[in-house]
Amino acid sequence: MGKFILRRLGISLIIVFLVSLFAFSLMHILPGDPARLALGEEASEEDVQALREELNLDKPLPVQYWLWIKGLFTGDMGYSIIYNRSVKEMLTEKIPRTLSLGIPSLIISSVLGITFGVLSAIKRGKWIDQLITFLATLGAGTPVFWIGIILMYFFGVKLRILPISGWTSPAVDFTKYVRQALMPVFCLSLHLTASISRQTRANMLDVVNQDYIRTCRANGINERSVIFRHALRNTLIPIITIIALQIRQVIGGSLMVEQVFNIPGIGLMVKQGIMGRDYLVVQSSVLIISLVTTVCNVFVDILYGLVNPQIRKSWG
C-alpha cells in the first residue's frame, strides 16, 4: 500500500513539474515585450530597459524559470506589472470569489447529475428517462456564453428581477450575493450536470446488467436495496473521477461566465494577464489551479486504492 501511494505521488510530482514548464513556456512564446506593454509606446527606451532588468526579463529563460520557481517556494510570487500589486495578494483576493461560485455549482451539478442519471437508468425507456436524456443533450449543446446573455436579457433587462452582473461577498451581504450568483452558478452547472447525468446513466445501466446484481435480485433482496446498496456504489466510482477533473474549472473559474457576468475572479484576471503579458500572474495562477487539480486527483486515486484492491494492483 505504501508503495502504491509513493508511486502515485511520484507521478504527480512529475505532472506538476511538466505543468510548471507548460505554464512558463506558454507565456514566453507570446509575442510582445511585457515591459514595453506596461509602460506604453511613449516611454523611453532607457525606462523600458530598466523595467526589463527589474523584472529579470534580460536574463536567459532557464534563469527566469528558476527565479520564478524559487520565488514560489519562498512564498514570494513576485509583482504584477499591470496592477503593480503582489501576485500573492491578488490571488488571495480573487480565489475566494471564484470559489464562491465554483463550489456551489460543483455541489449542485453533482447532486442533480447523479439523481437524474440514476432516475433515468432505473426508469429506462419511460417518459422520465426520455425527458432527462433530452434535457441532458440540450444542456450539453448550449453555449455557456449565449445562455448567460439570454438569462441576463430575460431576468435582468425584461423582468428586472435579478441584477444583470457583478459580485458581492457572501460575508458582506448574503442576499445580494445569492441574487447575483443565481445566473452565473446556473451557467457554470449546465454542462457539468449534463455530463454527470449522462455518465451516471450509462454506468448504472452497465452495472445493473452484471451478474452480481442478478444474483441480488434472485436472492429476493428488494429493488431499493439492490439499486442503492449494490448498484450505485459501483456506478459512482468513475463519476467521482469526472468530478475530480472538474476541480480545475472550479478554482480556475469559468472565464466565459466571469466575462459575461463581469465577475472579477481568477478567470478574468488571467485573461487580462495574458493580454498584458503579465507573466507572473498567469504562470502562478495556472500552476496553482493545476496543483489543486492534481492533488484532488491523487487523493481520489488513493481513496480508490484503499477501497478497491483491484485498482491498487493495477497501479503496481
Partner 1 sequence: MDKNMRKSAFRNTLRVFFARGPIVIICSVIVLLFFFAAIFAPILTPYTETQQDLLNTFAKPSGTHLFGTDSLGRDVFTRILYGARVSLITSLISSVLALVVGSFLGMVAGYLEGAVGQLIMRITDAQLSLPPLIVSMTLATALGGGIWGVSIVIAISILPTYVRMVNGLVLTIKNNDFVVVAPLVGQTSFQVLYKHLFPNCFPSLIVLFTMNLGGAIMLESSLSFLGIGITAPVPAWGSMVSDGYQYLFKAPSLAIVPGIFVMLTVIAFNIVGDSLRDSLDPRLRGKL
22 binds partner 1 (CB under 8 A): yes
Question: Among 107, 150, 240, 307, which residue interacts with partner 1 (rule: CB under 8 A)?
Answer: 150
Contact 68, 24 (CB under 8 A): yes
C-beta of 219: minimal distance to partner 1 in Å? 27
C-beta of 258: minimal distance to partner 1 in Å? 10
163 binds partner 1 (CB under 8 A): no
x/- track of binding to partner 1 for residues 24-43 (CB under 8 A): --xx-xxx------------
Cα of 66 vs its chain's centroid, Å: 27
Question: Among 39, 69, 122, 202, which residue interacts with partner 1 (rule: CB under 8 A)?
Answer: 202
Q: Which is nearer to partner 1, 50 or 213 (CB)?
A: 213
Q: Which is nearer to partner 1, 9 or 178 (CB)?
A: 9
Residue 245 has a CB neighbour count (10 Å cut-off) of 13
Handedness of CA 164, 169, 171, 172 (dihedral sign): negative
47 binds partner 1 (CB under 8 A): no
What phi, psi does 30 have (nearest 5°)?
A: -65, 135
Exposed/middle/buried for residue 200 (C-beta within 10 Å: 0-12, 13-18, 19+): buried
Three-state DSSP at 248 gives helix
Place of cell 457583478: 166
C-beta of 152: minimal distance to partner 1 in Å? 8
Using the contact rule CB under 8 A, the part of the chain among 53-61, 86-94, 195-203, 300-308 near partner 1 is 195-203
Task: List, in order, residues 6 or more apart from 126 with CB less than 8 Å away.
Answer: none
Separation of alpha carbons 288 and 41, rounded Å: 33
Contact 242, 199 (CB under 8 A): yes
For the segment 228-247, give every residue that binds partner 1 (CB under 8 A).
245
Using the contact rule CB under 8 A, the part of the chain among 20-28, 178-186, 211-219, 307-315 near partner 1 is 20-28
Q: How many CA atoms lie within 13 A of 86 on its CB side?
A: 8
Mutual angle of helices 174-208 and 144-151, in 10-degree steps: 140
Question: Among 6, 63, 138, 161, which residue interacts with partner 1 (rule: CB under 8 A)?
Answer: 138
C-beta of 20: minimal distance to partner 1 in Å? 9
18 binds partner 1 (CB under 8 A): yes
Task: List, in order, residues 6 or more apart from 201 with CB less than 8 Å away.
Answer: 116, 117, 118, 120, 121, 129, 132, 133
Task: Give the cell for residue 104.
Answer: 456551489
x/- track of binding to partner 1 for residues 270-289 (CB under 8 A): xx--xx------x---x--x
Separation of alpha carbons 297 and 289, rounded Å: 12
Q: Which is nearer to partner 1, 122 or 221 (CB)?
A: 122
110 binds partner 1 (CB under 8 A): no
Tell me which residues touch partner 1 (CB under 8 A): 11, 14-16, 18-19, 22-23, 26-27, 29-31, 137-138, 140-147, 149-150, 152-153, 157, 199, 202-203, 205-206, 245, 248-249, 252, 254-256, 259, 267, 270-271, 274-275, 282, 286, 289-290, 293-294, 297
